Amino acid sequence: MNLRLNSEFGTLKAVLMHRPGKEIDRLTPYNKEYLLFEDVPYLEALQKEHDFFSDLIKQSTGAQVYQLREMLVKVISDQDILLQLMRESLKKSGLVHLAEDILERYSTAECATALTAGIKIHELKRKIPNLKNGELMDFAFAIAPCPNLYFQRDPMALTPSGIIFSSMKMEGRQREADLVRTIFENHPEFKDFVNRLYPVMGHENPPSIEGGDVIVLSHKAVAIGNSERTDEKAIYHAAKAMLAEGSVERVYEVHLPKKRNYMHLDTVFTVIDENLVLTYPDALNAVLQTSLYTLKEIKDDKINIKREVLKESLLTILEREIPHLEILHTADGNPDYSMREQWFDGANVFAIGARRVISYNRNIHTNRALRQMGVEVLEIPSSELSRGLGGPRCMTMPLSRAKV
């Protein structure tokens, strides 16, 4: 598995997912905003819907579905890696000094749960009875939970050149990216195939970039959204690494309006075949500023790249990169339905092959329009999954696809 992807729609061979767990049960009406959620889902129903989703992927493609938790348990069986992750996770609460005590008393599986679902002070007291916790109240988090972890698209992105490991904008999600990076750089099945493009080695506190903003347009071109979650500086460094590696010739920086429905580039459009893009009405015309990065020269190991500001809409760029482009609008362009279905990520379908997608069953008008275009639409239940405001693409990190 070479951990590179040259398309968004080649037949799926392997994918990373995370089955929602105890971290979801940590959400309350009072902490949900702090934990970057807009609702309080019902965990058991959420798990059932997620299981349906992962089973559907296996049945329809034969792809291997890797589960984040299993991979994490394998990697943290190395005590040094576990200690480092535990210390990092305890920094925010100022309880780093408890890391060794936790490792002594918690099993590897319990540590995996602590790293994803967090630990409360009163839970620690059960294991460490003489705990002096200073000012922290019993219900405070020693380690905060990661309820967004089932959105596996955000912590990294695979490109034709290698892996961009995310530097998450919201502090509350940075640990997700740290977990995923630690897994891939240490897991026996993957570590030898990691070509890390970002963060650049030695860069402390790298500028933020998130996987949902990275879309492979063609063998030679990648688009990265300059969004509320991805900074221009990060795009520059990622573009430089990709262009220097040589697989990619053009990297587009797409300036997204700072609005909730433009959170990531993949909420604006998805590529579902070599000539077909799904978007919501007017989104492609609303994005008017783009920049193009290309390689200038590599001289004495110094890489120079060129940035050109294009006075073109995203639509113009897609038409140039994707010959004979066809565009399908969510809900077939009906303004009321498309607005409603875009709220539930109508444009964020997961392509498991060319013109084969997995979509939320609630987006009925979009699914009908897709079928009319000859796209095979497999539907998943979405009453609870959609409450996190992310679609099927957001929940999946493809690790291998058939080459297109």
Q: What is the pLDDT of residues 301-316, one digit of tens each?
A: 889 999 999 988 899 9
Q: Which CATH superfamily groups domain 12-71+147-401?
A: L-arginine/glycine Amidinotransferase; Chain A (3.75.10.10)
Which residue in 110, 29, 124 sits closest to 69, CA to CA? 110
CA torsion angle 307 311 314 320 (round to 10): -80
Q: Is the pLDDT reported for residue 135 higher than 70?
A: no
**Nearest-angstrom CA–CA distance, 240 and 234:** 10
Q: Are 152 and 396 spatial neighbours (Cβ–Cβ below 8 Å)?
A: yes
Strand partners, 196: 163
Which pTM does this prediction carry?
0.95
CB neighbour burial string for 51-66, b if at least 16 within 10 angstroms, e if fewer: eebbebbeeebebebb
Distances (CA, A) of 118 to 27, 157, 172: 11, 25, 12
Q: Are 397 and 378 spatial neighbours (Cβ–Cβ below 8 Å)?
A: no
Q: State the pLDDT at residue 339.
A: 84
- Burial (CB count <10 Å: 0-12, 13-18, 19+), residue 213: buried
Q: State the pLDDT at residue 181.
A: 96
Per residue in 346-376, pLDDT (tens digit) is 899 999 999 999 999 999 999 999 999 999 9
**Catalytic machinery residues:** 394
**Nearest-angstrom CA–CA distance, 87 and 94:** 10
Average model confidence (pLDDT) across the chain: 93
